[in-house]
Amino acid sequence: VKSAPQWYAENFQEEFHCAWARRIPSNSHADGPKWICDPHRLQEQKDCLVYSVGSNGDVEFEQGIRDEIGEHCEIHTFDVVASKDGKNFKPIVESVGATFHRWGIGSQAEADAYAQSRQGPPLRTLDQTISMLN
């Protein structure tokens, strides 16, 4: 293990247990995949909404949703950083049919602190995000 973030990415602690959790995409061991609970249920739905928090310009998860869950999913990707090393994340995210939003998801206190100071990464709560996106 090269760093703490790498260790935590590979050895996450569950916040709740999901009997049918699956890493999407299932064929990758890189940093891009994310865990999802009951993906088979999303496949069965007429509509599907996925929020992907943090991308660093890597759309492996979003493409995995398209490939393994289905084209019917509406995907929104959130990242406080819009680019890195001259690479703009928005067109990369949009290339897989997802919508890019340059803000992070945080607690009410974090969102309030950002709203007051406009310093640091742009943050909104999950409730604010849902309300804004309808």
According to the model, what pLDDT value does residue 117 have?
86
Question: What's the CA gap between 103 and 26, in Å, rounded?
Answer: 27
Alpha-carbon torsion 90, 93, 95, 98, what sign?
negative
The pLDDT, as a whole number, for residue 119 is 77
- Spatial separation of the C-alpha atoms in residues 85 and 106, rounded to whole Å: 25
Is 123 in contact with 110 (CB distance < 8 Å)? yes
Please give the Cα distance from 98 to 91 (Å, whole number).
Answer: 10
Looking at residue 118, what is its pLDDT? 80
Distance CA 70, CA 48 (A): 9
Q: What is the pLDDT of residue 74?
A: 96
For 48, what's the count of Cα atoms within 13 Å in the CB-facing half-sphere?
23
pLDDT value of position 29: 73
What local confidence, expressed as pLDDT, does residue 7 receive?
A: 67
pLDDT value of position 52: 94
The SS3 of residue 124 is strand
Q: Across the 134 residues of the chain, what is the mean pLDDT of every consecutive 10-residue run?
A: 67 72 83 86 92 92 94 95 91 96 92 84 91 91
The per-residue pLDDT for range 19-37, each reduced to its tens digit, is: 888 889 888 777 778 888 8
